[in-house]
């Protein structure tokens, strides 16, 4: 099979930049795809950070410290960008202007204003594919729940709960980093870090929050600064968002939670959907297991537990009995990005990467959540139309 080679540049050579390079290195894991990413150039403001790539990724022939040089490089077709949130707007806008396709990290702008600037820039370059990184829906258990929603198997939705929980910040001795500072991570705190992961599937299913009542929490006030002193933790650790979802034909509650301090949870992403004809839940805590309860009127109510096979969105060499993990989900997501880049509307499977429009919806929710926590009130999203849709008085 002749493969289309997509020449990638990676901007931001930290934690996630390396994950992406590692996924490219094992592209042979995928079977039957006619495209392949090749990382030709990398860029990091700290030249030391590019060393790992220069030494271990043979396709990398250029390392830059100024991203503008990478954007001027004719040997780069597309960019994966993983930098702190305060840089998203300026870098993403310049990437889009350069005509290179962009897979950018969430939250796609440090705040709603930054996100709107990015989305506005896209209008001038409809030829450029722009997507937002969010890999958990590619876990086979989550993917299967998506299939069930598309097939309309849940009946009337009773309620939805989704979350993403971490716990390493329970340790007050963990040294502070940019993710705990408003200037670099943003006012959203844990919502900006974890929220797009939580919202990706609900938004894809068309379950937009109409209103939100938010409870935001700061648990650890200060941390070691790594230089012998201590520094204030400025951002929200945990967020619980009680949302009212209204679709064309349904209305139901949806509780979303994003927690940096959920004791015992290393990287737990989950979704639970209760419906009148089917209930189902999937959590990366037990990555193989999917639980479901099909129901018919008058019938028994019994939960079924299935070790879901390794049937990923894009077929691989891995046998069905084996486990799927975080790095597999990155590989699958990147395949979806390349598939869409090469085949556009004719993708091999239906789950495309999170869109900038979905990221924009997440910003509307997080901005409303900040207001809700500040005022202690329910905040309607989208103004008067939402109030009327909810059957509430605007006065």
Ligand X SMILES: NC(=O)c1ccc[n+]([C@@H]2O[C@H](COP(=O)([O-])OP(=O)(O)OC[C@H]3O[C@@H](n4cnc5c(N)ncnc54)[C@H](O)[C@@H]3O)[C@@H](O)[C@H]2O)c1
Q: Which residues bind ligand X (CB under 6 A)?
A: 11-16, 43-46, 49, 67, 82-85, 87, 105-106, 133, 135, 193
Whether the Cβ atoms of residue 122 and residue 96 lie closer than 8 Å to each other: yes
**Does residue 107 have a cis peptide bond before it, meaning omega lies within 30 degrees of 0?**
yes
The nearest distance, CB 90 to ligand X, in angstroms, is 8
Nearest in space to 153 (alpha carbons), one of 360, 291, 292, 347: 292
Report the residue number, 186 or 209, with the smaller CB distance to ligand X: 186
Query: Rounded CA gap, 137 and 287, in Å?
Result: 12
Report the residue number, 14 or 382, with the smaller CB distance to ligand X: 14
Report the residue number, 83 or 96, with the smaller CB distance to ligand X: 83
Report the residue number, 84 or 146, with the smaller CB distance to ligand X: 84
The nearest distance, CB 269 to ligand X, in angstroms, is 9
Query: Rounded CA gap, 54 and 44, in Å?
Result: 12
Parallel, antiparallel or unpaired: strands 230-232 and 222-224: antiparallel
Q: φ, ψ for residue 313 (rounded to 5)?
A: -55, -45
Query: Rounded CA gap, 249 and 198, in Å?
Result: 23
The nearest distance, CB 15 to ligand X, in angstroms, is 4
The nearest distance, CB 79 to ligand X, in angstroms, is 11
The nearest distance, CB 106 to ligand X, in angstroms, is 6
The nearest distance, CB 7 to ligand X, in angstroms, is 18
Which residue number is nearest to ligand X in terms of Cβ?
14
* Three-state secondary structure string covering 34-99: CEEEEEEEEECCCHHHHHHHHHHCCCCCEEECCHHHHHCCCCCCEEEECCCHHHHHHHHHHHHHCC
Report the residue number, 164 or 380, with the smaller CB distance to ligand X: 164
In the DSSP assignment, the letter for residue 384 is: H
Report the residue number, 140 or 275, with the smaller CB distance to ligand X: 140
- Where would I find the H helices in the chain? 15-25, 51-56, 67-71, 88-97, 112-122, 140-150, 182-185, 190-204, 326-343, 356-375, 384-389
Report the residue number, 21 or 242, with the smaller CB distance to ligand X: 21
The nearest distance, CB 354 to ligand X, in angstroms, is 10
What is the token pair recorded at 277? Answer: 């004809």
């Amino acid at each position: 099979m002749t493969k289309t080679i997509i020449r990638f540049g990676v901007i931001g050579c930290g934690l996630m930049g390396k994950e992406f390079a590692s996924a490219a290195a094992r592209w042979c894991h995928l079977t039957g795809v006619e495209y392949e990413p090749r990382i030709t150039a990398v860029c990091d403001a700290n030249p030391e950070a590019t060393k790992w790539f220069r030494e271990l990724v043979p396709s990398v022939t250029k390392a830059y410290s100024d991203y503008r040089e990478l954007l001027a490089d004719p040997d780069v077709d597309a960019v994966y960008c993983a930098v702190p949130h305060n840089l998203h707007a300026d870098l993403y806008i310049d990437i889009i202007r350069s005509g290179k396709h962009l897979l950018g990290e969430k939250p796609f702008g440090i705040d709603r204003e930054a996100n709107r600037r990015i989305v506005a820039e896209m209008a001038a370059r409809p030829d450029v594919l722009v997507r937002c990184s969010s890999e958990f829906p590619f876990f086979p258990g989550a993917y299967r729940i998506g299939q069930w929603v598309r097939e309309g198997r849940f009946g009337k939705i009773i309620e939805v709960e989704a979350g993403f929980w971490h716990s390493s910040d329970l340790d007050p001795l963990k040294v502070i980093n940019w993710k705990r500072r408003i200037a670099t991570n943003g006012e959203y705190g844990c919502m900006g870090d974890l929220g797009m992961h939580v919202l990706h599937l609900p938004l894809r299913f068309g379950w937009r929050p109409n209103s939100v009542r938010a409870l935001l929490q700061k648990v650890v006030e200060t941390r070691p600064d790594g230089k012998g002193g201590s520094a204030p933790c400025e951002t929200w650790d945990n967020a619980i968002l009680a949302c009212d979802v209204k679709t064309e034909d349904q209305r139901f509650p949806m509780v979303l939670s994003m927690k940096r301090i959920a004791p015992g949870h290393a990287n737990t992403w989950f979704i639970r959907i209760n419906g009148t004809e089917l209930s189902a839940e999937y959590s990366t805590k037990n990555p193989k297991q999917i639980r479901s309860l099909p129901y018919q009127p008058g019938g028994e109510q019994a939960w079924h537990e299935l070790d879901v096979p390794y049937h990923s969105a894009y077929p691989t060499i891995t046998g069905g009995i084996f486990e799927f993990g975080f790095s597999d989900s990155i590989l699958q997501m990147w395949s979806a990005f390349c598939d869409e880049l090469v085949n556009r509307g004719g993708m091999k499977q239906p789950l495309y990467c999170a869109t900038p429009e979905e990221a924009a919806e997440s910003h509307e929710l997080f901005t409303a959540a900040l207001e809700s926590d500040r005022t202690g009130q329910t905040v309607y999203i989208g103004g008067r139309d939402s109030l009327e849709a909810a059957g509430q008085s605007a006065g």
